[in-house]
Chain A
Amino acid sequence: MSVNLTLVLVASVLVGAGAYLFLSRSLIRALMGFLLMGNGVNLFFVIGSGPPGSPPIVGAEDGGPMADPIPQALVLTAIVITLAMTAFVLALAHRSWQVARDDLVPDDTESARIHARSEAEDGDEEAYDETDDTTGEEAR
Chain B
Amino acid sequence: MVVLPLIGAGLTLAAARRTAVQRAVSLTVLVGMTGMAAVLLWAADTQGPQVVFVGGWTATEGIVLVVDRLAALMIIVSSVVMLAVLSYSIGQGASSFDEESDGQSPLPVFHPALLVLAAGVTTTFISGDLFHLYVGFEMLLSASFVLLTLGGTVERVRAGTTYVLVSLLSSLIFLAAIGLVYAATGTINLALLSERLGEISLGTVALLNLMLLIGFAVKAAVFPMSGWLPESYPTAPAPVTAVFAGLLTKVGVYAMIRTQTLLFPQARFDDLLLVAALLTMIVGILGAIAQDDIKRMLSFTLVSHIGFLIFGIALGSTHGLASAIFYVIHHITVQTTLFLVLGLVERVGGSSDTTKLGDLARISPVVGVLFFIPAMNLAGIPPFSGFLGKVGLVQAGVEQGSWLALVLVAGSVLTSLLTLYAVARVWGRAFWSENVAGVTGRGPLRGGHHMALGAGVLVPTAALVVVGLALTVLAGPLFDVATRAAADLTLRDPYLVAVLGDGGRP
Q: How far apart are the CA atoms of A88 and B147 in the complex, in Å?
A: 12
Contact A105 B176 (CB under 8 A): no
Q: Does B179 contact A (CB under 8 A)?
A: yes
Q: Which of B153, B171, B172, B182 has the most CB of A within 10 A?
A: B172
Using a CB-CB cutoff of 8 Å, which residues 27-50 of chain B contact chain A?
Answer: none
Q: Does A44 contact B (CB under 8 A)?
A: yes
Given A110-B293, A114-B291, verify A105-B164 contact (CB < 8 Å): no
Q: How far apart are the CA atoms of A106 and B231 in the complex, in Å?
A: 12
Q: Does A7 contact B (CB under 8 A)?
A: no
Q: Does A89 contact B (CB under 8 A)?
A: yes
Contact B142 A48 (CB under 8 A): no
Instruction: Write out, one digit per residue, whether chain A residues 51-73 have a CB within 8 A of any chain B CB (1) or not (0).
Output: 00000000000000000001100
Contact A34 B168 (CB under 8 A): yes
Q: Does B336 contact A (CB under 8 A)?
A: no
Given A81-B138, A92-B149, A111-B231, verify A105-B180 contact (CB < 8 Å): no
Q: Does B423 contact A (CB under 8 A)?
A: no
Q: Does B61 contact A (CB under 8 A)?
A: yes
- Among B157, B171, B231, point to the contact of A139 (Cβ < 8 A): B231
Measured as residues with beta carbon below 8 angstroms from the partner, the interface class of chain A is 35 or more
Q: Which of B146, B161, B175 has the most CB of A within 10 A?
A: B161
Q: Which of B131, B146, B296 has the most CB of A within 10 A?
A: B131
Contact A105 B231 (CB under 8 A): no
Contact A105 B179 (CB under 8 A): no
Contact A88 B178 (CB under 8 A): no
Q: Which residue of A lies closest to B290 (CB)?
A: A114
Q: Does B18 contact A (CB under 8 A)?
A: no
Instruction: Write out, one digit per residue, whether chain B residues 135-168 have a CB within 8 A of any chain A CB (1) or not (0).
Output: 1001000100110010011100110111011001
Contact A47 B227 (CB under 8 A): no
Given A71-B182, A88-B164, verify A106-B176 contact (CB < 8 Å): no
Q: Give chain B nearest CB distance to A115 CB in angstroms.
A: 10
Given A88-B142, A105-B162, verify A41-B153 contact (CB < 8 Å): no
Using a CB-CB cutoff of 8 Å, which residues 20-50 of chain A contact chain B?
Answer: 22, 27, 30, 34, 37-38, 41, 44-45, 47-49
Q: Which residue of B lies closest to A139 (CB)?
A: B162
B293 proximity list for chain A (CB < 8 A) = 110
B169 proximity list for chain A (CB < 8 A) = 22, 34
Q: Does A100 contact B (CB under 8 A)?
A: yes
Q: How far apart are the CA atoms of A99 and B159 in the complex, in Å?
A: 14
- Among A45, A81, A99, A105, point to the contact of B153 (Cβ < 8 A): A99
Q: How far apart are the CA atoms of A27 and B157 in the complex, in Å?
A: 11
A105 proximity list for chain B (CB < 8 A) = 158, 161-162, 165
Q: How many A-B residue pairs have CB under 8 A?
A: 91
- Among A34, A45, A89, A92, point to the contact of B172 (Cβ < 8 A): A34
Q: How far apart are the CA atoms of A98 and B231 in the complex, in Å?
A: 22
- Among A78, A84, A95, A110, point to the contact of B152 (Cβ < 8 A): A95
B436 proximity list for chain A (CB < 8 A) = none
Q: Does B24 contact A (CB under 8 A)?
A: no
A41 proximity list for chain B (CB < 8 A) = 172, 175-176, 179
Contact A92 B142 (CB under 8 A): no
Given A44-B179, A92-B164, verify A38-B152 contact (CB < 8 Å): no
A45 proximity list for chain B (CB < 8 A) = 179, 182
Q: How far apart are the CA atoms of A74 and B290 in the complex, in Å?
A: 45
Q: Give chain A nearest CB distance to B41 CB in angstroms.
A: 30
Q: How far apart are the CA atoms of A92 and B153 in the complex, in Å?
A: 11
Contact B231 A48 (CB under 8 A): no
Contact B157 A78 (CB under 8 A): no
Q: How far apart are the CA atoms of A78 and B171 in the complex, in Å?
A: 10
Q: Does A85 contact B (CB under 8 A)?
A: yes
A95 proximity list for chain B (CB < 8 A) = 149, 152, 157
Q: Give chain A nearest CB distance to B99 CB in angstroms.
A: 13
A84 proximity list for chain B (CB < 8 A) = 138, 142
Q: Does A4 contact B (CB under 8 A)?
A: no
A139 proximity list for chain B (CB < 8 A) = 162, 231
Q: Which residue of B lies closest to A37 (CB)?
A: B172
Report B's interface with A, CB cutoff 8 A.
61, 131, 135, 138, 142, 145-146, 149, 152-154, 157-158, 160-162, 164-165, 168-169, 171-172, 175-176, 178-180, 182-183, 188, 227, 231, 234, 290-291, 293, 296
11 pairs across A/B with beta carbons < 8 Å? Answer: A30-B165, A41-B179, A48-B179, A88-B146, A92-B149, A92-B157, A96-B157, A99-B154, A108-B231, A139-B162, A139-B231
Question: Sorted from nearest, which 3 A-B pairs have the closest CB atoms?
Answer: A48-B183, A44-B179, A45-B179
Apart from A88-B146, A105-B162, what 13 extra A-B contacts exist at CB < 8 Å?
Answer: A34-B169, A38-B172, A38-B175, A48-B179, A48-B183, A49-B182, A70-B61, A78-B175, A88-B142, A92-B161, A99-B152, A110-B234, A138-B227
